[in-house]
Amino acid sequence: MERVIIKTADGSDSLYVKDLNEHYHSIHGAVQESQHVFIDAGLKYISARNKNISVLEIGFGTGLNAFLTFIESSKVDLIINYTALETYPLEMDLIEKLNYAECLNEEKDILKTIHACDWEKEIAVSKNFILHKIKNSLQKIILSDLYDLIYFDAFGPNVQPEMWTEELFSKLFSALKPEGVLVTYCAKGEVKRILKRVGFDVESLKGPPGKREMVRATKK
């Protein structure tokens, strides 16, 4: 699948997938969206009660969510065990062209290190951030650990409906600890109904710039 770098409205890069006619992030701002949905509504919400957090990301992609989580872990001294699933890892030469370090005023090497980490191994990227990247699909993987927080960042339900099913959300519900939380940028009515059916308490929160709503779902 061919991926092309595009510039989003906040100046940060994203990728466009021609075959799917879909972007990796919101065209209204990639960094803004990831910060708002995954860090502010997810990580900061959980870290108010717990400093030792296990995160599962569905769709590692550019590594932007991992990078932002790494930054937050060192800023406020969290211990993060970060597991990320990805079926189609990106090439390093594409990663090196993304401007996230520049946008965030961070060392470029960190994003590169995150991508260079071996797959299927737990790697301490820092004393605060342990990364376990898994090259497998959500459909096939057996999730035997329990997580505090899930970043659900698959392609949208219009282009990848097989990721937004009751079966997969039920699998994710089982992979959360009690009071664990799943956050996603998608607030479609049908997605919220599925989340409720599998047992989540569903909140519609204000979305990032350019999007009305996002969803935070809690396993009560």
Ligand X SMILES: C[S@@+](CC[C@H](N)C(=O)[O-])C[C@H]1O[C@@H](n2cnc3c(N)ncnc32)[C@H](O)[C@@H]1O
Between 6 and 51, name the residue whose CB sits nearer to ligand X.
6
At closest approach, how far in Å is the CB of 220 from ligand X?
Answer: 26
Separation CA 176–CA 149 (nearest Å): 7
At closest approach, how far in Å is the CB of 67 from ligand X?
Answer: 8
Separation CA 79–CA 179 (nearest Å): 18
At closest approach, how far in Å is the CB of 190 from ligand X?
Answer: 18
Which amino acid makes up residue 22? E
At closest approach, how far in Å is the CB of 41 from ligand X?
Answer: 15
Between 61 and 180, name the residue whose CB sits nearer to ligand X.
61
Task: State the CB neighbour count (10 A cutoff) for residue 52.
Answer: 10
Q: Which stretches of the chain bind ligand X, using CB under 6 A? A: 24, 34, 58-59, 61-62, 64-65, 85-88, 137-139, 153-155, 163
Separation CA 205–CA 213 (nearest Å): 6
Between 171 and 177, name the residue whose CB sits nearer to ligand X.
171
In 76-155, alpha helices (H): 92-95, 100-104, 108-116
